[in-house]
Structure 1
Amino acid sequence: MGPGETIVALSSGQPPSGVAVIRLSGPATAEIVLAIAGKLPKPRHLTLLPIGTDTVLDRGLVAYFPAPHSFTGEDCAELQVHGSPAGVRAILRLVTGQGARLAEAGEFTRRAFENGKLDLVEVEGLGDLIEAETENQRRQALARFEGGLTQRIDSWRDQLLDLRAEIEARLDFSDEGDVAEALPASFGQQIIALRNDVAAGLASVEHGRIVREGIRVALAGVPNAGKSSLLNALAKSDIAIVTDEAGTTRDVREVPVDIGGQLFIFLDLAGLRDTDSKAEAEGVRRARHEIERADLVLWLQAPDVEDDIPPVTGMPMWLVATKTDLAVDTELHDLAVSVRSGHGLDQLTARLTEFARQLGGGGEPSLLSRERDRLALEAAVIALDDAGERLAEPELAAEALRLASQALERLLGRLDAERVLDRLFVSFCIGK
């Protein structure tokens, strides 16, 4: 991998397809396009051109994006050709024969980051956008990719730069006439306000995780309580094997289901019971482990099997009566369903939708959703708390503010200490 190399790759889905998009990036892009298409199109305009040198391999739309106004910040080009496997292979061989090399996984995005076109949180947003399965995930990922989170972090960084410039000016330039000895009376309150704002962002990370990773719902109960049948009904597919034989499910099956734009991960678990079967006992152990990890547990109880005491868990648990077509008494249950008749399934999905709304905090999905986000904001909050407590020791307070800035810089993938000096001189006109 080298910055001076020109790379090429198929950027659309694997052929065969109606259209295939082949992307180039690097210093030799214009030269290669001229060689294989006969002319260099007007920048950012699609031009229909033959693709080939001695013989025409295909005919397609060619676009050229000169640096720095491109996705990677380098000279880029895109060839929109027919999605024939043979045609795509032939064009890739042609382009690599002109001096380009096949790109590595994620290399176009890596170059965009290195050239300052994207920061790390925007890169993560792009990855999430590509993988988005639900409407909420799409909205969350697109907002992060388009810089929504970056703008919020930049606001925190700017406030920190002002605070650091204020305190460091008194440490380094106390002999200058335009620098007062004492910190402003509101300095401590500014730190507290910033700390509370960052802490509010930290509190939203769990809401964002719910959108990005989905809500894990464990379908638990004794054998033959109707777990696999309910899973099939929710997924609208015969995913799980359903028989009258107890202990059919031996492993944990995870099935993603989109309900109202929110991703739910339903876990079909082995029935909880004592057993002499080593395979089933392992399934029971895994089931108990997943129940502890779930965001919600549905404990299923059927009238035709003997129930057991639900396990104690710190997560919400709903008692769900199943097989209600057998006229079971449902007064002691939170919900009642019958997969055979469809009774209660709409109420269950409505209740799940409301649960997701409450768990996600309502409104727009949080842009903070990753473990890396949580660790960075935790470090920033701790550092701001430390700074607020050490105002009587300006050197230590300044160091704590520097650590808070560093945590946010790390989150964005930037470490730019020179900006502190720039802000300091602008604020206090030192050195004029």
Structure 2
Amino acid sequence: MQAGDTIMALSSGALPAGVAVIRLSGPRVQEILKQIAGGVPSPRQMALRRIGAGQMLDQGLVAFFPAPHSFTGEDCAELQVHGSPAGVRAILAQLATLGLRLAEAGEFTRRAFENGKLDLVEIEGLGDLLSAETEKQRQQALSRFDGRLTEKITQWRESLLDLRAEIEARLDFSDEGDVPEDLPDQWQHQLGALEAAIRTSLASLESGRIVREGIRVALAGAPNAGKSSLINALAKSDLAIVSDEAGTTRDVREVPLDINGQLFILLDLAGLRESDSKAEAEGVRRAQRAIETADVVLWLSAPDVEDIAPSGVSGQLVRIGTKSDLGSQTGVDISISTKSLDGLTALRQRLDGLAANVTGSEPSLVSHERDRLALSGSLTALEETRRNLGDWELAAESLRRASAALERLIGRIDAERVLDRLFSSFCIGK
């Protein structure tokens, strides 16, 4: 990436399409619009223009967004043209001859960060929004992108500034008569409130992660207990191989499932048994590892299969009696039949209830590993502050480190360490 370049990219979906959006950003945008669109439209108003310098290449809508009131903070423009592969190639080729270069992955968003339009927390929210597949993921990502977590962090940083001011006053003006030696009572209350607020947000990390990444649900049990059939019935598709022959599943298959806006990742596992087959034994080993790390384990048993006892379960355990059309079972939470579809609604409701218990009514804004590291670091520094109150210099340093942890989260310091990794996941044109 080179600052000062004017960049271009196809920002819409794969071609051919009804409409293609070509995005421009940089200091030469107005000059380019005069050459290929007959002039610069009024700011933030669409104008129908002939597209092409000299020879007409297409006809479409042109919008201009002047700096600094644009997504990137630079002069920006969008060309909404027909989604023809040949037409888009011709326009991009002509723009290249005029000195524009193709944007790199995430370069538009990176320019928005460098020009102060977005911070790292908001950019992560934008990335989550682009990849959101369920309603709860969309809500969570949009709230983060819209600055709700940034607002919290800003409030915490302001509180830290107030706390540091009291300490710094005692360091710098200890010989002045109007600076009392002891801290005011309100200072202790403010420190405690700040610790409680950060601790509460940190405690919501797991529920936020589950919304963003999905609840991992392992389907476990003996061979031929009906795991693959249940996967297919829940997904309403023949995704997994179903056979009377035991041991057909030999790897962990992940199947996404949306229930009331919450993402579930169903794990179709190998049946648990001893086997002389190296491939099946490896499948069993992977199944046992998946059971140990799953958020929810559906332990399946069937009337025509010898049952085995659950083992290695650390998440929520739900006992499922399958093949209820062959006979009823005792000691199960839900009985189902993938042939008649009996019990599937009850199972979906049970999974939905488990999700609600974990995630609550509103998705947590804290959901990334960077969030955990920053909030944990800030909280540890605040706890050290309490222990260091006998030494003003040490207390001031602890408060400074608490602030630095929050500033690192939003990208005020050490931003370069995460920028390349963060923007590499963005598509070209965003």
Per the TM alignment, residue 177 of structure 1 is displaced from its structure 2 partner at its CA by 5.7
What's the secondary structure of 1:56's corresponding residue?
Answer: coil
Q: Which residue of 2 aligns with 1:184?
A: 184
Question: RMSD of the TM alignment (CA)?
Answer: 1.2
| TM-score under structure 2 length normalisation | 0.95
Regions of 4+ moved over 2 Å: 173-182
Per the TM alignment, residue 178 of structure 1 is displaced from its structure 2 partner at its CA by 5.0
Q: Which residue of 1 aligns with 2:211?
A: 211
Q: Which residue of 1 aligns with 2:173?
A: 173
Per the TM alignment, residue 173 of structure 1 is displaced from its structure 2 partner at its CA by 2.9
Q: Which residue of 2 aligns with 1:413?
A: 411
> Is the contact between residue 70 and residue 76 of structure 2 (CA under 8 Å) also seen in structure 1?
yes
1:230 is matched by which residue type in structure 2? L
Per the TM alignment, residue 139 of structure 1 is displaced from its structure 2 partner at its CA by 0.5
Q: Distance in 1 between matches of 2:263 and 2:168?
A: 48
> Is the contact between residue 294 and residue 314 of structure 2 (CA under 8 Å) also seen in structure 1?
no
Q: Distance in 2 between matches of 1:175 and 1:407?
A: 32
Q: Which residue of 2 aligns with 1:336?
A: 335
> Is the contact between residue 288 and residue 312 of structure 2 (CA under 8 Å) also seen in structure 1?
no
Say whether 1:273 aligns with 2:262: no
Post-superposition CA distance 1:389-411 (Å, at most 9, x none): 22121111111111110110000
Which shifted more, 38-47 or 389-398?
Answer: 389-398
Q: Distance in 2 between matches of 1:288 and 1:372?
A: 29
Q: What is the correspondence of 1:26-41 to structure 2 with a 5 Å cutoff? A: 26-41=26-41
What's the secondary structure of 2:24's corresponding residue?
Answer: strand
Say whether 1:391 aligns with 2:389: yes
1:347 is matched by which residue type in structure 2? A
Post-superposition CA distance 1:140-195 (Å, at most 9, x none): 00000000100011111110011011111211233456543332123222212111
Say whether 1:152 aligns with 2:152: yes
Per the TM alignment, residue 87 of structure 1 is displaced from its structure 2 partner at its CA by 0.8
Q: Distance in 2 between matches of 1:95 and 1:283?
A: 53
> Is the contact between residue 293 and residue 314 of structure 2 (CA under 8 Å) also seen in structure 1?
no
Post-superposition CA distance 1:273-304 (Å, at most 9, x none): 11011111111111111111110000100111
2:286 is matched by which residue type in structure 1? R
Q: Distance in 1 between matches of 2:97 and 2:235?
A: 48
Q: Which residue of 1 aligns with 2:344?
A: 345
Q: Distance in 2 between matches of 1:159 and 1:172?
A: 20
Q: Distance in 1 between matches of 2:281 and 2:31?
A: 65
Q: Which residue of 1 aligns with 2:427?
A: none
Give the unaligned 5+ runs of structure 2. 415-430
Q: Which residue of 1 aligns with 2:361?
A: 363
Q: Distance in 2 between matches of 1:241 and 1:226?
A: 11
Per the TM alignment, residue 214 of structure 1 is displaced from its structure 2 partner at its CA by 0.4
Q: What is the correspondence of 1:61-140 to structure 2 with a 5 Å cutoff? A: 61-140=61-140
Q: Distance in 1 between matches of 2:180 and 2:84?
A: 72
Q: Distance in 2 between matches of 1:130 and 1:322?
A: 38
> Is the contact between residue 66 and residue 74 of structure 2 (CA under 8 Å) also seen in structure 1?
yes
Aligned residues: 414
Q: Distance in 2 between matches of 1:397 and 1:175?
A: 19
Q: What is the correspondence of 1:171-320 to structure 2 with a 5 Å cutoff? A: 171-176=171-176, 178-320=178-320
Per the TM alignment, residue 54 of structure 1 is displaced from its structure 2 partner at its CA by 2.2
Q: What is the correspondence of 1:374-389 to structure 2 with a 5 Å cutoff? A: 374-389=372-387
> Is the contact between residue 188 and residue 388 of structure 1 (CA under 8 Å) also seen in structure 2?
no
| TM-score under structure 1 length normalisation | 0.94
What's the secondary structure of 1:267's corresponding residue?
Answer: strand
> Is the contact between residue 42 and residue 64 of structure 2 (CA under 8 Å) also seen in structure 1?
yes
Give the unaligned 5+ runs of structure 1. 417-432
Q: Which residue of 2 aligns with 1:422?
A: none
Post-superposition CA distance 1:203-228 (Å, at most 9, x none): 01111111000000000111110000
Per the TM alignment, residue 308 of structure 1 is displaced from its structure 2 partner at its CA by 1.5
> Is the contact between residue 295 and residue 316 of structure 2 (CA under 8 Å) also seen in structure 1?
yes
The share of aligned pairs that are identical, in percent, is 66
Post-superposition CA distance 1:120-157 (Å, at most 9, x none): 01000000001110110001000000001000111111
Post-superposition CA distance 1:8-27 (Å, at most 9, x none): 00001011110010000011
1:392 is matched by which residue type in structure 2? G
Q: Distance in 2 between matches of 1:59 and 1:300?
A: 60
What's the secondary structure of 2:325's corresponding residue?
Answer: helix
What's the secondary structure of 1:324's corresponding residue?
Answer: coil
Q: What is the correspondence of 1:1-16 to structure 2 with a 5 Å cutoff? A: 1-16=1-16
Post-superposition CA distance 1:241-299 (Å, at most 9, x none): 11111111111110111001100000001111110111111111111111111100001
Q: Which residue of 1 aligns with 2:48?
A: 48
Q: Distance in 1 between matches of 2:373 and 2:288?
A: 28
> Is the contact between residue 170 and residue 181 of structure 2 (CA under 8 Å) also seen in structure 1?
yes
Per the TM alignment, residue 306 of structure 1 is displaced from its structure 2 partner at its CA by 1.1
Per the TM alignment, residue 319 of structure 1 is displaced from its structure 2 partner at its CA by 1.0
Q: Distance in 1 between matches of 2:322 and 2:40?
A: 67
Post-superposition CA distance 1:374-394 (Å, at most 9, x none): 111111111111111221211
What's the secondary structure of 2:81's corresponding residue?
Answer: strand
Post-superposition CA distance 1:298-343 (Å, at most 9, x none): 01001111111211322121111000000122x3111111000111
> Is the contact between residue 223 and residue 271 of structure 1 (CA under 8 Å) also seen in structure 2?
yes
Q: Distance in 2 between matches of 1:321 and 1:67?
A: 63
